[in-house]
Every structure is written in structure tokens, then in C-alpha cells.
Chain A
Amino acid sequence: MRVSTNQFHNQGIDAIQKHQSDILAIQEKMSTGKRINKPSDDPVGMNQVHNLKKTISQIETYKKNGDYAKSQLGLEETQIQTVIDGVQRARELTIQMMNDSYNPANRKATGAEIGQLIEHIRNVMNSKNPEKELLFAGNNVNVSAAFVDDTVNAPLSNGSRYTAYIGSTNAGANYDQKANYGARFVQIGFDANNQVAPDDKGDPARVRTTDNGAKVFDVPTATSLPAGVDKNVLNVMIQLKDYLDKGQQPPPDIASDFTKALDHMSGVMAEIGGRQNRIQTQKDAGQSFKMSLDERRSKIEEMDVVQGIADFTKKQNALQMAQQIFSKVQKMSLFNYIR
């Protein structure tokens, strides 16, 4: 085939340019460390990367949510434990005072101690988290207290009043039915229907972080309290104090109610512990899932550096070769010989 002088030139330049643009492409991928820098690098891969990144980021969010829920539940756990300790002390004192060897003066003195315990436990039951939200008021986190004075039932003989949870009609003006619900769910995993209902009963993907006081501190089967009064552990103590203030022996019902309360609260504690375990399990599962996702993402998205360097060297050699050939070919001319 006939060859024109321009062809030598064109071919040389084309080759050099092709190698240079190849090197530029490798340079971009090597310097960002990514095989996919823009959709056109691999449109289908890009879509996968988007999906993987989205899932990974969701797992991260669920982990953060879980951490938050755990700290929230931890706080709740501590507070309930404090109440349990107080009730145990009250139960010991009850059993002591049931003993005939104590006289009314002793009982009144103990009544004063029970009075302190009552204030302490009432405080804990009305305690707030660092965000100033009531811990045991369901979702009514912003009211002043979860357990208020019972304004419906008559005061006791010592003048003190029973306590009522704000979800009970005994709370009078502070009564709010909504306080009996209250389930703040925090999402810790992928939810199948991505939906929470107002009265949600729970969902494997979400964990409840709030509890209402009635559920935690009620003693549903208490027998020591007069009818109509909220059956919560604080009222049992108030009742106890009333007996002691009068110098009377507390009836055995009180002691057994304390036992029931302790059982109930231990149950609540176990349930909270269960929730914490669930968070941990979800978190572990999420982390290992995330690792495998991340590995896939990196396989799709990231540059194989060894391969990249090998390619780069190859292209570099090719470019140098093309440049050398170009300069050699340019020197070939018959005119050089016919002088």
C-alpha cells in the first residue's frame, strides 16, 4: 500500500495521544483511589454503589439510634434499681415493725424514715433525662411530674395524700389519658413496612425507649390499699407510713405487697435488659452485615492499586515507545541521501 508522509505523522501523533489519554484516565483513578468517579465509568456499578452506600449509611444510623436507645434504657434501668433498693429497705422495716418488740415510739421514728424514703422514691419516679424529659410519664415528657397528689381520694389520717399517676383519673387536673400509652420507638434495624402506627405494639425493627410510670411502678394485685386508690408502690409506702405514724403495727398485706412490687419491677428490669440485648444483637448483626456490604462496595468502587500501577507502567512504556518511534520515523527521508 502507498503511504503518504502525513500518515507517518498522523499515526505517530494518534498513538501518542491515545496513550496519553489512557494514562490520564489511570491517573484519575489512581489519585482518587476509585475505579468509579462518575456514573459513566460504570453506570451499573454506580447504581450498586449508591444502593450499598445507602444501606451502609442506614446501618450506621441504626447503630447510632441503638446507642442512643441503650443509654436511654440504661438510665431508666438505674432509676428503677434505685426504687427497688428503696422498696427493699421499706420491706425490711415493715417486717421489723411487724415484730411485737417495737413500741409505738419506735414505729413513729421508723415512720419518719419511711417518710424520707417516700420523698426519695417519688423524686426518682419523677426523674428526668438530660434532655429534661420525664422518664416515667409515657410521652407526656414535658409536664411537671409523672406522679402527682391524688386529689380525688380523701387524705390519710396523718394528713398526707395518696399519689396518682397522671394517666389515672385520681390525678384530677393533671389527668391526661395519653400518659397511659406513650411508646417512643427508636429504629434499630430495617423495617419491612417503614411505618409506625400511633398505638404501635412494637416491631422487630424498633425498640421502645419510654415507659409509662403505671406500667413500671404499679402493683396490680396489691391488697393493702383502699379501693379507688392507685395501686402503685409509692402508695403502699404512704399507707405504711400512715400505720407507723399512728404507732400501729403494719398489717402483713403491706409486706406482701412490697414483695409483689419487687417481683414486678424485677420483671420490668428483665424486660428492659431484653430490649438492650436486642439492640446489641441488632448492632452486631448490622456491623457484620455492614462489613460484607463494605467489602462489596470497595470491590465495585475502589481501584485495585496493584492492577492500576501495572496498567500505568504498561501504558507509560507504550507512550515512551511511541514517542521514540515518532522521532525516529521523522528522521527518515530520502532527501537526506540525495545531496
Chain B
Amino acid sequence: MADMLTIGSLASGAYKKAIEVTSHNVANVGTAGYHRQRAEIVSNNPQINGTGFLGGGAQVQTVNRIYADYLQNQLIASNATNQRYDQQFKLSKQVEGIVASNDQGVQQFMQRFYDAMQNLSNDPTTNTNRRLLLDESGNLESHISNLASILKDTQQQTNKQIEDTVTSINQQLDTIYTINKQVERALSSGSQPPNDLLDRREKAIKDLSTYIDIKPYRQKNGRVDIHTANGRLPLISDNTLTKLVAKRSDFPNESRTEVFMNISGESKKISDFIHGGQLGGVLDFRKNMLDKAQNELGVTLNGIVASTNWQHYQGWDLNGNAGDNFFAPLATNAMKNIHNTGAEDGTNIKVSFDPNFASANPQPPYLPPSSQPATYGAKQTDFKNALTEIGHFTAREYELKYRAGTNDFAFYDHQTGQPVLDNTGAQITVVNGAQANVEGLKFDFRNTSALSDGDSFIVKPHQDILQQFKKTLQDPNKIATRGQSPVDTNNNGSLLDEVPAAAAYGDNVNMANMASLASKKLLYSDTAGNPSETLLGGYSKMSVNVGLYVSGTDIQRQAQTNVLQQVTNRIESLSGVNLDEEAANLLKYQQAYQASAQIIQTAQKMFTTMMGALRG
């Protein structure tokens, strides 16, 4: 029976609860991930009597959490993207400053190196000028080696960061997994939603999206499944937890940490599928900026080393000996995949710059006993060919796959996994046991150990030159400033048929030509074989690419920050606590509570009035 007393006491109870909910909101105004709650006050069923329906008062039916799934999903998605670009931006800015700062960068050291050559070519017999050139090459060398060690550190830093992020992801997955279970238990024991537990889970999911891009799938029974890689890879599914693993890539000597996941019992590399969160940011930075910058810088350095050496081979030093190596020539080898079953570990697959290995002429440095080609013309032809091959350098890493059927190696781009194509569009292959020039570099497979079908190897010639870049010429008198002798012994008007011989002591032809390498277009030939960049231009190209990456990332970051702000605003607008609103509610509920109390008092007064009347 809904009499006045019941109505009054129910109402006061209801408003007390409402005030409690209000207080809870006020208390959590600063709690991250909190959604405001509201006491749903409903009127009780009315009773019919003669005069009509008489209301039965009010009570709190449930405590509602003001929350929208779609907004929360948007928040998770935009948070992951935002964190990715934020991470990319921080890391790339750090590298940008090192490899491509406007002042005192590589380009200045290169310029000074070539200026010293000009200086020496003015006055080729002076010892001071010779020493200056060696000093400047030393400066260039030490600047490059600083750069290389910083880039190597950055490489290791990204490895560490990937490991740390994966650890955090796994911890966060544990948390969600545990809350999932608690939510399920809470829901099965009652029909009321465990609001604050749900908030904590949403918070945990959002925190997870800071590290990696995820998609939550909310299940009927209150569980949330978490998938990554655009929904393709399940992390939490049907209460099964699959953790990520950070470990060395399949090429152990590469020292490169990749993200793996156990998919149907097999450990699979998933680094390429992760596009969001801090992890996505680090991976993208490493692939599209760090590796690329190193490879492009490497192409420039390989260009400097090869062109300087080859021009130097053309000349003669003060003692009348042919020019030796100026810089240490590139000499590197391949690294094997741990899944390889053959005996070859990659060290017998050698990569170097040797453009004329097929030529019958003696190859440089033209020092005894191999000595000079028969004629100056033959020597020039080999030299021109070397410059042509320099134009073929391409900034990439090679993956070589052995095919037992054809007994050859197929060339792939290690970064993209795409085949490396020749001019006709066919994939480049080299027969095992042979050697060949591929994109300007000689790949030598002559001394390979036993191989099995499918064995793969990688080689990074353009990254390796960063570590190998070194001046080898020490004696200033050994700088080959003199060119070919201008004497035309048979007076036929051409020097090409002459036996290679040194010009007079004070000749500067070779040094002038070395200095001119700075202005000569040598790198990045088009299909017609015309080089498009000078050596300094090759460096500029790298720094422009670095700049475009950073500025592109910055634009994305700003856009994503705006998106995130907008989503956050919408969530705040819907679910955030407004203290003024709570203050108003507090007043309202307090007044209602006081009024309900008054009802009880009135009922009691009425009762005593009645009692007093009866007493007479």
C-alpha cells in the first residue's frame, strides 16, 4: 500500500541515493576515463482506486553510466593514430638534426674536401696543400664515423624501444584480460552494470591504444575482444590471451628487433602489420626514415669512395707510381637467415665495387705487379665504365634467395619484399658460382658453401659503407696529382693508343679532374644512363627526403591531435562531469530530500492528530 509514509520514506531514500551518485561524480571529476553517472529515478506503479490512479512515489531504478560505444571506439582509434605520429615526430626530429642539419652538416665537410682538392690542383707540388687534402679527408671521415655511430645507436635505441613497448602492451593486455573476467562475473551475478569496473576497462583499452592500434569488439556477455592490425590479429579473443614477442629478426647478424606473434603454433613476424600507437610509430620511423636515410647517405658515400678512388687510380703520384686507394673500397658480405639449412653463412657471398671484373685489362689500383692496361684508351674505357656503374647505385638492401632448381640467386628488395628488376622488367638473378654487377655493385657467388633450396641472405652495402668509410692514403706524396703524359709518341694526334705513362712532375690534370668530381653528375642514372645528381646533390636528396618525412609527420600529427581533441571534446561533452551541473543537482536533490522528510513528518503529524482525536 502506497501511503504517504511509504512514499515519503521511499523518496527520501531515492534522493539520498541520488545525492550519493552526485557526490560520486564530484569526487571523480579528475579521474581519467571516468564517465559521469546518473541515478535513474522512476515513479512507482500507481494503484487504482475509486477516484483514479494514485501514484506510488518514486525510487532509484538503476545507476546509469552516460557512455557511448561509438565515441569510445573513435577515441581508441584516434588515440592510436595520434600516438603513432607523435612518436614518429619525436624520433625523426632527433635524427633529422643529426644527419641533415642546415649548418655544419655533411655537405660542408664534403665541400671542404673538394675545395682542398681545388687548392692542391692549383699548386700540386706543395707539401702543405697535399697535407691539407689529407686533413680534410680525415675530417670528412671522422664526421661520417660520428654520424654512423649515432645512427647505429639510434638503431639500437629503436630496438630497445620496441622491446619496452611490447612489454607494456603485454602488461596492458593482462589487465584487460583480468577485468574482462571480473566484468563477466559481476554481470552473471546481477542485472546491474558494474559501472566503475567498466570505466576502468575502457581506460585500460585506451591506454593499450597508446602503444598499438587495436579494435575492440564488445561481446554480448560483457567481454571485450581486442584485435590488432586492422582487426586481423586477435590479441584477446574468447578469453584467450595471445601476447606479442619482441625478438631478433630472422637474420640474427642484422641486430634488428622485430615483433612476432604466435599464430596457430607458428611464430610469425607481424611488424609490417602494425600501423598505430607508439609501436607503429617506432616501426614506421625505422623503416621509412632511419633505414632510408642511411641507405641514401650510403649511396652518396659509395659514390664518393668509388669515384674518388677510380679517378685517383688514373693518376700518378710524386714518385711516379700509379694512384692507390684513396678511401678504403667497399667490401662487405651477406648475412644468413636462421631458417637456412645449407652450410653457407653468407660470408662467402661478397659484395664490392668492381665494375670491370669481366675485363681482360689489369684492374686498379694499377700498382705492380698487376700494372697498367696496355693503352691509355683501354684505361679510360674502364674508368668511364666505373663512373657509369656508380650511376646505377640504388638506395636499397638486397635479399638473395637461393633456388636449387635453377642453381641461382634471385634478387629481392629486403624492405619491400619486391623483386629487383632489370631494365627489361625481369627479375635479376645470378647463377651460383658466378659473379655479376647488380645495380653498380659486384655480387660474387664464386666461393659459396653448400646451399639448400629457399636459403635466403641479406646484404646492406649502402649501410655498411657508413661504418667502412675510411681514408687509407696516409703519405701526402702518394696523392696522385699527375695525369697521363701528353706526349704523343707516334704523332697520330690521339693519346688513346699510348702506353699509360705519367705526365711531368708538376702536372695537375688528375687532381683537377678529382676536384671536378664535385660538380659532375654521377649518381642516380635514368634508364638512358644519364646520371641526375652530383655527389652533393645525392646528399641533398637524402636530406630533402628526411625533411619531407618529418614535415609530413608533423602535419599528420597536428591533424590527428585535432581529431583526438574533437573526439575527446565530444566524449567530455557527453560523459564528462560538470561541477555546476552537479551543484545544481545537489541543490535539487537536497531540497527533494528535505521535502520527502517533510512528507514523513506530515504523515506522522496526521497520525498523531488522529490518535489525539481518538483519545478524546
Contact = CB atoms under 8 A, between A and B. Distances in A.
Interface of A: 1-7, 10, 14, 34, 36-44, 46-47, 49-51, 53-54, 57-58, 61, 64-65, 68-69, 131, 133, 138-143, 176-179, 181-187, 190-191, 194-200, 206, 209-210, 301, 332-335, 338
A176 B504 contact: yes
B546 interface: yes
Contact of B513 (A61, A141, A195): A195
B107 interface: yes
Contacts of A3: 573, 578
A139 B505 contact: yes
30 contacts: A4-B573, A5-B579, A6-B30, A7-B569, A37-B102, A39-B551, A40-B546, A40-B548, A43-B544, A44-B544, A46-B100, A47-B540, A50-B537, A50-B540, A54-B107, A54-B111, A61-B115, A65-B118, A65-B122, A133-B506, A139-B507, A177-B487, A178-B503, A181-B486, A184-B506, A185-B508, A196-B516, A198-B495, A199-B486, A334-B579
B487 A5 contact: no
A46 B543 contact: yes
A36 B547 CA distance: 11
A14 B547 CA distance: 27
A179 B487 CA distance: 9
A63 B536 CA distance: 21
Contacts of B216: none
B161 interface: no
B11 interface: no
Contacts of A198: 483-486, 495, 503, 509
Interface centre among B125, B504, B509, B572 (most CB of A within 10 A): B504
Nearest to B494: A199
Interface in B544-578: 544-551, 554, 565, 568-569, 572-578
Contact of B577 (A4, A40, A64, A301): A4
A209 B123 CA distance: 10
B543 A199 contact: no
B433 interface: no
Given A37-B101, A43-B551, A50 B485 contact: no
Given A38-B100, A182-B506, A43 B547 contact: yes
Given A49-B102, A198-B503, A4 B578 contact: yes
B479 interface: no
**Could you say which of B505, B543, B548, B574 has the most chain A C-beta atoms within 10 Å of its C-beta?**
B505
B583 interface: yes
B269 interface: no
Contacts of B485: 178, 198
A40 B565 contact: no
B506 to A, nearest CB: 3
Contacts of A176: 504
- Ordered nearest first, which 4 A-B pairs have the shortest CB separation? A39-B547, A4-B576, A43-B547, A40-B550
B572 A7 contact: yes
A108 to B, nearest CB: 41
Contacts of B584: 334
Contact of A43 (B512, B513, B518, B548): B548
Contacts of B153: none
A41 B546 CA distance: 11
Contact of B504 (A40, A44, A179): A179
A39 B554 CA distance: 13
B516 A195 contact: yes
Contacts of B551: 39-43
Contact of B512 (A58, A133, A196, A199): A196
A142 B513 contact: no
A140 B504 contact: yes
Interface string B505-548: 11111001101111110000000000000001101110111111
Contacts of A196: 483, 509, 512-513, 516
B296 to A, nearest CB: 12
A245 B504 CA distance: 39
A40 B543 CA distance: 9
B97 interface: yes
A87 B121 CA distance: 35
Contacts of B565: 10, 14
A9 to B, nearest CB: 9
Contacts of A5: 29, 576-580
A334 to B, nearest CB: 4
A338 B102 contact: no
Contacts of A53: 107, 111
Contacts of A64: 118-119
A169 B126 CA distance: 29
B108 to A, nearest CB: 9
A65 B568 CA distance: 65
A204 B420 CA distance: 44
A107 B551 CA distance: 89
B573 A1 contact: yes
B102 A38 contact: yes
Contacts of B549: 40
Contacts of B573: 1-4, 7
B93 interface: yes
B102 A140 contact: no
A184 B100 contact: no
A61 B540 CA distance: 20
Given A10-B565, A38-B100, A47-B540, 16 more contacts: A1-B573, A5-B576, A14-B565, A38-B96, A38-B97, A40-B546, A50-B536, A57-B115, A69-B122, A131-B123, A133-B125, A140-B504, A187-B118, A191-B519, A198-B484, A198-B485
A256 B530 CA distance: 58
A334 B583 CA distance: 6
Nearest to A177: B487
B532 to A, nearest CB: 13
Interface string B472-515: 00000000000111111000000100000001111111001101
B587 interface: yes
A102 B3 CA distance: 165
A38 B547 contact: yes
A83 to B, nearest CB: 21
Q: Determine which residue in A5, A34, A42, A46 has the highest number of CB atoms from chain B within 10 A of its CB, and name it.
A: A5
A338 B576 CA distance: 22
Nearest to B569: A7
Contacts of B554: 40
A227 to B, nearest CB: 23
B506 A301 contact: no
Contacts of A36: 102
Contacts of A190: 519
A64 B515 CA distance: 14
A138 B520 CA distance: 28
Interface in B102-142: 102, 107, 111, 115, 118-119, 121-126
A206 B118 CA distance: 12
B546 A39 contact: yes
Contact of B574 (A2, A6, A54, A139): A2
Q: Which of B506, B536, B544, B587 has the most CB of A within 10 A?
A: B506
Contact of A142 (B125, B512, B579): B125
Interface string B339-358: 00000000000000000000
A131 B540 contact: no
Given A6-B29, A199-B495, A335 B583 contact: yes
Contacts of B30: 6
B484 to A, nearest CB: 4
B548 A131 contact: no
Nearest to B513: A196
B572 A200 contact: no
Contacts of B503: 139, 178, 181, 198
Given A39-B100, A50-B107, A54-B536, A131 B126 contact: yes
A211 to B, nearest CB: 12
A68 B504 contact: no
A194 B311 CA distance: 13
A283 B576 CA distance: 72
Given A40-B554, A43-B551, A181-B487, A197 B509 contact: yes
